[in-house]
Amino acid sequence: MKKIFSFILLIIFVGFVFGFTNTSLQEEEPAGKKIFIANKCVTCHSVKAEDLISNTKLKNVPDLSDVGTRRNADFIMKFITKKEKLNNKLHMIAFKGSDEDLQTLAKWLETLKPSEVK
Ligand code: HEC
């Protein structure tokens, strides 16, 4: 009787550990990256370090893989809402999402520094 009981415990334990490792394997994309995709930033910008490839024909669109080394979140938020210029020009499009999404997106972009990217 005792043996059966420990056997059941073992099954539960193994099931738990397996289930746990299984969910942690399916890593979630960062929220900022989802917002980036949902707002079609990727139609113009590649972020090669994050496996995002744009097929735009525009020539002057920077890859944002290392944008965090050049810009901070504060600047990005102002720039993509057309409140701040870069090289004397406003960004081509204005971000249309919520303020919360704008912050999450800008903070994610700020983390894109080659030393921290994979
Ligand atoms: C229609 C094309 C287009 C779309 C869509 C677009 N961008 Fe841009 N973006 C540009 C261009 C062109 C530049 C370069 C501007 C310059 O250097 O004068 C730029 C520059 C930037 C920069 C500054 C990059 C640097 O090297 O400093 C950031 C940050 C940026 N975009 C973020 C975004 C985000 C976030 C989105 C989505 C909300 C987005 N862009 C959507 C065309 C686009």
pLDDT digits (tens, 9 = 90+) for 40-74: 999 999 999 999 999 999 999 999 999 999 999 99
Q: What is the chain's alpha carbon radius of gyration, rounded to the nearest angstrom?
A: 22
| pLDDT for 109 | 98
Instruction: Determine if the pTM surpasses 0.75.
Output: yes
Higher-confidence residue of 1 and 107: namely: 107
Cα–Cα distance for residue pair 75/69, rounded to 1 Å: 12
CATH code given to domain 29-110: 1.10.760.10
Measured from the CB, is residue 108 less than 6 Å from ligand 1?
no
Boundaries of every domain in the chain: 29-110
Cα-to-centroid distance, 80 and ligand 1 (Å): 7
Cα(50) to centroid(ligand 1), Å: 16
Torsion on CA atoms 9, 12, 13, 14, rounded to nearest 10: 120
pLDDT at 24 over 70: no
